[in-house]
Structure 1
Amino acid sequence: MISVFIVFAVFILFNINKMTNSLCIQREIPEERQPKVFRTINVLVTILLVSSFIEISLT
């Protein structure tokens, strides 16, 4: 179960990063702000994935 969830999490993070890149291009976010945007979104999605894993594991 853990390996399936890890593969799922990597797939989700990859797609979220692709969408974030599209957002940065579409909104013309400056190059110096883009790392902060990516970091913030990645941290929030990681927290969401970890909390989902914990919820699934405990039920």
Structure 2
Amino acid sequence: MIVFFIFFALFILYLMNNLTNSLCEQKEIPEEKQPKIFRTINILITILLVSSYIDVLFT
């Protein structure tokens, strides 16, 4: 189960990064602000994935 969840998490992170990149291009966000946006979104998605794994693990 952990192997499935790791692949699922990597897929979700990849998908979110692609969507974030599209957002940055569409809204014409300056290059200087993009790393901060990517970092914030990646941290939040990672927290969400870890908390959902813990939820699945203990229920």
Q: TM-score, normalised by structure 1?
A: 0.99
Partner Cα separation in structure 2 for residue 6 and residue 12 of structure 1:
10
CA RMSD of aligned residues (A): 0.2
Partner Cα separation in structure 2 for residue 42 and residue 36 of structure 1:
10
Partner Cα separation in structure 2 for residue 42 and residue 28 of structure 1:
20
Q: Number of residue pairs matched? A: 59
Deviations 1:20-58, CA, capped at 9 Å, x for gaps: 000000000000000000000000000000000000000
Q: Deviation above 4 Å: which 4+ runs of structure 1? A: none
Q: TM-score, normalised by structure 2?
A: 0.99
Q: Which runs of 5+ in 1 are unaligned?
A: none
Match of residue 28 from structure 2? 28
